[in-house]
Amino acid sequence: MLIEEKANQNVFSESLIGLAENDPEVIVATSDSRGSGKLIPFAETYPKQIVEVGIAEQNLVGISAGLASAGKKVFVVSPSCFLTARSLEQVKNDVAYSDHPVKLVGISAGVSYGALGSTHHSIHDLAVLRAINNLTIIVPADNFETREAVKYAYRSKEPVYIRLGKKPMYTLHSEHSRFEIGKAITVKKGNDLAFIATGETVYRAYQAAQLLNQEGIHARVISMHTIKPLDKEAIVKAAKECSSIITVEEHFVHGGLGEACAGCLMEAGYSISFKIAGIPDEYTVTGSQDEILSNYGISGEGLRDMAKKY
């Protein structure tokens, strides 16, 4: 049984307070987004370390690039739908290309905002950000990965994007797990098939693997927390050892984890039964996050059924 824990966003904001306590150079930049980012305690504790720009996400990223170039350790916190679409040029030119170590934190990512509709969904972000040089992309699956991602971003001298959701997660790792950028973590062993999942879909893949276990099918579950750089070794190893691969992501089927894995396998000379589970190229069904994901088979049962077909 999986144990419920906090929302990754909450863990992120708690981690920030820990960092700011020892380092006055830590700055949080927001665009009327401190409430959604769970940053009100941060703002109350360190009022001098929060920069508010109003509802102006392009300005937000530009200002943060400036702050970072002058030595501040800036965490930019804004809904990922706006941060990675509206501010994309600032991310590309002012952060990545100009090489300022801004820490971009996209909150309420994927379809977290559910019935607020497509303007508020962020299912394009991995595709567009993968196409930008000099940007590490991290999509934590649980609270442990979130804490580690924040630690990494804090130390990093390079631009980083962290993608977070707002729903409580489930514990997938023990505190002894090792987190290393660019190294996937195997959450469950198995050689019949492999789920390569990322972010908040990892626990769904894990649930599918548990259901498959009951039928004597042993699925490997891999948490691909770093989308760039991708852990090619883990992907090739899965292709060698398992008879099929299903990638799982809370993202459009184009340009995300699935296509990144497919490209990696083709280049390595592997041809294997392969399926990308994600949001298909259609007018996204409306509803809550859970309803949307389940509608597209991204649930324990849905992924189990998919696994039996591939």
Partner 1 sequence: MALDDISNLEKKSVEYRRRILKCIKKANTGHTAGSLSCVDILNVLYNRIMNVSPENFRESDRDRYIQSKGHSVEALFVVLSDRGFFPESDLDTFSKFQSHYVGHPTRKVNGIEHNTGALGHGLSVSAGIALAGKMDGADYNVYTLLGDGELAEGSNWEAFMTASHYNLDNLLAIVDYNKLQITGPVQEVYNLEPFRDRMESFGWEVREVDGHNLAEMEKVFSRIPFNKEKPNLVIAHTIKGKGVSFMEDNYKWHHKVPNDKEYDQALNELVL
Ligand X SMILES: Cc1ncc(C[n+]2csc(CCOP(=O)(O)OP(=O)(O)O)c2C)c(N)n1
> DSSP letter at 282?
S
Distance CA 109, CA 78 (A): 10
Task: Output phi, psi for 170, to 5 deg.
Answer: -125, 145
Please identify which residue in 70, 115, 131, 266 interacts with partner 1, judged by CB under 8 A: 115
Please identify which residue in 6, 120, 237, 254 interacts with partner 1, judged by CB under 8 A: 120
Subset of residues 1 to 60 that bind ligand X, contact rule: CB under 6 A = 32, 55, 57
Choose the binding region for partner 1 from 100-108, 118-126, 128-136, 229-237 (rule: CB under 8 A). Answer: 118-126
CB of 55 to partner 1, least distance (A): 5
Query: Edge-to-edge, what's the strand order for the sheet holding 244-252?
Result: 185-188, 219-223, 193-197, 244-252, 273-279
Choose the binding region for partner 1 from 153-161, 198-206, 266-274, 286-294 (rule: CB under 8 A). Answer: 286-294
Contact between 53 and partner 1 per CB under 8 A: yes
Subset of residues 69 to 88 that bind ligand X, contact rule: CB under 6 A = 82, 86
Distance CA 153, CA 23 (A): 14
Choose the binding region for partner 1 from 29-37, 138-146, 251-259, 273-281 (rule: CB under 8 A). Answer: 29-37
Distance CA 81, CA 124 (A): 8
Q: Are 261 and 131 in contact (CB under 8 A)?
A: no
Sign of CA dihedral 146, 147, 150, 156: negative
Q: Residue number with the shortest CB distance to ligand X?
A: 32
DSSP H stretches of helix in 70-137: 80-83, 88-89, 125-130
Of 108 and 201, the one with the shorter C-beta distance to ligand X is 108
Q: Binding string, 74-93, against partner 1, x = CB under 8 A? A: -------xx--xx-------
Cross-strand partners of 50: 28
Contact between 51 and partner 1 per CB under 8 A: no
The per-type count for the chain, helices as H runs and strands as E runs, is: 12, 14
Contact between 285 and partner 1 per CB under 8 A: yes
Contact between 113 and ligand X per CB under 6 A: no
Question: Rg for the chain (alpha carbons), in Å?
Answer: 19
Contact between 195 and ligand X per CB under 6 A: no
Relative to beta strand 226-228, strand 136-138 is antiparallel
Please identify which residue in 5, 17, 97, 116 interacts with partner 1, judged by CB under 8 A: 116
Contact positions toward partner 1, by CB under 8 A?
Answer: 30-36, 52-56, 58-59, 81-82, 85-86, 113, 115-120, 285-288, 291, 295
Residues lying near ligand X in the complex (CB under 6 A) are found at 32, 55, 57, 82, 86
